[in-house]
Amino acid sequence: MRSSNQLLTCLAAACALAFGAGQAIAAEKVTLGVSIPTATHGFTGGIVWWANQAKRELEAANPTLKVIVKTAASTPEQANQVQDLLVVNKMNALVLLPLESSSLTQPAAQVKNKGVYVTVVDRGLTNPAAQNAYVAGDNTAFGRLPAEYLAKRLNGKGNIVVLRGMPSTIDNERTNAFNEEIRKYPNIKVLDAKYGNWNRDDAFKVMQDYLTRFKQIDAVWAADDDMAVGVLKAIEQARRTDIKEVFGGAGAKFAIKKILDGDKLVQADVSYSPKFIYDAIKMTANARLKGQALPAKTIVPSVLITRENGKQFYFPDSPY
């Protein structure tokens, strides 16, 4: 029979082994890949800025974490980058903001099936089974709030033209919500809805076409503040005075400044900050460092921005 001293020694050794095993689990390295669009306009510029901000903060605070940020200008490039992050960089977690939903669903599913934890941000995949978690703004409110506002602004009567974003699940959610709300007003007519690709130049061309084809336009839902810039430029060049409101979206600082300054055409907006990529990266990294999972869906609320509450959403030093 062992003495009490021997038993204590054995217990101490066992505790040390258990503690060491716990340390090994806690210190397991997390390599987090971040795949996002190239900064082609203000919103994606904000996305890139916030992603790199998260990388700096997280790596400084966690020696067992490596964050690799990749930007892509096309869907094939982004699909290849996702594979490279797995094969070359050996990532075991991925935060993905897809350029297009359908094109990135299979690449996401492939890395998930190989054990990578996948958090999708903003533009959801066409098959939710290809992801572990989804983080986004409230795209339903993003579409519904402008429709409610414009219907009130027009007193329930008038012509509206719409500029959609890019083909994606979030664009579908926003457009469906807008249409569902605007259908409540039978005297408001949506003359046309075309893709402006969340791009100023593309939106300028779409708006030029609208201005040529339609002699009476009462309001524009541009569905993005960058597209609103192109819309406003086209209206100015055409010297049209029939348009009462241009409603963009996402709360860019230039749009909020126009609201606060009492701009004639830009009087309201809806919040949808690119900072959610920062939040998604931090949430994913912290969860994986602890061996935990995120909720299946995290939705950041969208809010109607007017002159009354605009100061809460105006950050002049922000990149967007």
- Residue span of the structural domain in which 36 resides: 28-137+274-300
Q: Against a cut of 0.85, is the pTM above it? A: no
Instruction: Kindly state whether residue 306 falls inside one of the protein's structural domains.
Output: no
In a domain, 96, yes or no: yes
Q: Please report whether residue 60 resides in a domain.
A: yes
pLDDT in tens, 246-304: 999 999 999 999 999 999 999 999 999 888 899 999 999 999 999 999 999 999 889 99
Residue 311 placed within a domain? no
Question: What residues contact 41, with CB distance under 8 A and at least 6 apart?
Answer: 198, 199, 200, 226
Domains in the chain: how many in total? 2
CA angle, corner 318, sides to 316 and 320, nearest 5? 100
- CATH of residue 251: 3.40.50.2300
CB 40: neighbour CB atoms within 10 A?
17
- Is the same domain home to 130 and 181? no
Residues 202 and 172: beta-carbon distance below 8 Å: no
Q: Do 159 and 52 belong to one domain? A: no
Residue 1 vs residue 190, higher pLDDT: 190
H-assigned helices in 119-264:
139-153, 169-182, 200-213, 225-238, 253-260
CA distance 82 to 40: 20
Given a cut of 60, whether residue 232 has pLDDT beyond it is yes
| pLDDT score, position 15 | 37
- Regarding whether 176 and 294 lie in a shared domain, the answer is no
pLDDT of residue 55: 98
Give tens-digit pLDDT for 86-107.
Answer: 999 999 999 999 999 999 999 9
pLDDT for 11-27, tens place per residue?
Answer: 333 333 333 333 333 34
- Residue 245, helix vs strand vs coil: strand
In a domain, 305, yes or no: no
Residue where one domain finishes, among candidates 270, 292, 311: 270
- Does residue 89 share a domain with residue 122? yes
* 237 and 161 part of one domain: yes
132 and 152 in a common domain: no
